[in-house]
């Protein structure tokens, strides 16, 4: 009888450990694991990053090895000369791209729907050399509207975020209004094929689907690249000058 409390304690510890180690759908950390092959052909909606642990999201986005596969400077060069341009970074997260764009552009608007990232961006802004600080602006947007003023952005980048956007047809219509005529939209996201980084295949939006959604929204595809980045495709689209 005197062993019963110890036994109950061991059973309680066993079940609490089991729950902690169970991968949760809301935890993007699970995306670092190689998922099993899927039979689903339609992309699923990615769980909102807002549900994930903030520290692990920051660590993930700012991973020191990310530069090897993300090649941010090369990616940014797709936009050409940014000296006189306003660039909106939609789904800016920790500002991995935002803060690399600031020294090159006239103005950079870091847009996100998660207030934790807006606070993070504002707090790390002080690390920018003083001459650049006025070029940076953060903007808390809505999940269905980036809250750009008409024609406000000359260029828009959406990196590793496109698949999080729900009802993309409607979103692209709204975004189109926020881009100046002749302006560019750069979308970078993960290729299918069970890669060591990025979400499982069933959550990814295929290159063909992005192209289709962009042209339906009125953009012209100016460049498609599947080779520069090992794990990602790059699409550059333009808003035609009427």
Ligand X SMILES: C[S@@+](CC[C@H](N)C(=O)[O-])C[C@H]1O[C@@H](n2cnc3c(N)ncnc32)[C@H](O)[C@@H]1O
- Count residues near ligand X (CB under 6 A): 20
Instruction: Give CA–CA dist 156/143, Å, rounded.
Output: 16
Minimum CB separation from ligand X for residue 20, in Å?
A: 24
157 neighbors 101 (Cβ within 8 angstroms): yes
Minimum CB separation from ligand X for residue 136, in Å?
A: 15
Choose one: 105-113, 125-133, 208-216, 233-241; the region binding ligand X (CB under 6 A).
Answer: 105-113
Nearer to ligand X, 117 or 136 (CB): 117
Nearer to ligand X, 39 or 55 (CB): 55
Burial zone of 219 (CB within 10 Å; 0-12 exposed, 13-18 middle, 19+ buried): buried
Interface positions, 156-215, toward ligand X (CB under 6 A): 159-161, 164-165
Using only the alpha carbons of the chain, give its radius of gyration. 20
Interface positions, 13-42, toward ligand X (CB under 6 A): none
Nearer to ligand X, 49 or 86 (CB): 49
Instruction: Give CA–CA dist 172/213, Å, rounded.
Output: 8
Minimum CB separation from ligand X for residue 134, in Å?
A: 22
Would you give the end-to-end CA distance of the chain in angstroms? 85
3-state secondary structure labels for all residues of 128-181: CCHHHHHHEEEEECECCECCCCCCCEEEEEEECCHHHCCCHHHHHHHHHHHEEE
Question: Which position among 49, 86, 155, 184 is part of the footprint of ligand X (CB under 6 A)?
Answer: 49
Minimum CB separation from ligand X for residue 156, in Å?
A: 11
Q: Look up residue 71 and give its two tokens.
A: 């090649």
Minimum CB separation from ligand X for residue 160, in Å?
A: 4
Residues 6+ apart with CB under 8 A from 110: 89, 92, 95, 98, 118, 121, 136, 137, 138, 139
Nearer to ligand X, 168 or 239 (CB): 168
Nearer to ligand X, 60 or 154 (CB): 60
| C-alpha dihedral sign at 29, 33, 34, 36 | negative
Nearer to ligand X, 167 or 222 (CB): 167
φ/ψ of residue 155, rounded to 5? -140, 145
Nearer to ligand X, 46 or 207 (CB): 46
Instruction: Please report, to the nearest 10 degrees, the dihedral formed by the alpha carbons of residues 146, 150, 156, 158 taken in order.
Output: 20
Interface positions, 108-167, toward ligand X (CB under 6 A): 111-114, 117, 141, 143, 159-161, 164-165
Site string for ligand X, 69-98 (x = CB under 6 A): ---------------------xxxx--xx-
Query: What does the binding site for ligand X look like in residue numbers (CB under 6 A)?
Result: 49, 61, 90-93, 96-97, 111-114, 117, 141, 143, 159-161, 164-165
């Amino acid at each position: 009888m005197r062993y019963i409390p110890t036994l109950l304690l061991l059973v309680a510890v066993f079940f609490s450990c089991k729950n902690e180690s169970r991968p949760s759908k809301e935890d993007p950390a699970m995306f670092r694991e190689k998922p099993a092959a899927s039979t689903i052909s339609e992309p699923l909606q990615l769980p909102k990053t807002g549900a994930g642990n903030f520290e692990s999201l920051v660590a993930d986005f700012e991973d020191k090895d990310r530069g090897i596969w993300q090649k941010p400077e090369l990616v940014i060069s797709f936009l050409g000369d940014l000296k006189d341009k306003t660039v909106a970074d939609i789904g800016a997260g920790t500002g991995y791209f935002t803060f690399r764009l600031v020294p090159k552009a006239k103005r950079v608007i870091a847009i996100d729907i998660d207030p934790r990232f807006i606070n993070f961006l504002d707090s790390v802004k002080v690390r920018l050399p003083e001459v650049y600080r006025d070029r940076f602006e953060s903007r808390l947007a809505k999940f269905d509207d980036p809250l750009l003023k008409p024609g406000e952005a000359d260029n828009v980048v959406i990196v590793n975020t496109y698949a999080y956007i729900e009802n993309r047809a409607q979103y692209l219509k709204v975004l189109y209004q926020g881009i100046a005529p002749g302006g560019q939209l750069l979308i970078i996201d993960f290729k299918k094929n069970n890669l060591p980084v990025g979400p499982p295949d069933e959550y990814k939006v295929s290159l063909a689907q992005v192209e289709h959604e962009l042209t339906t929204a009125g953009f012209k595809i100016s460049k498609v690249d599947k080779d520069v980045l090992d794990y990602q495709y790059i699409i550059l689209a333009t808003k035609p000058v009427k």
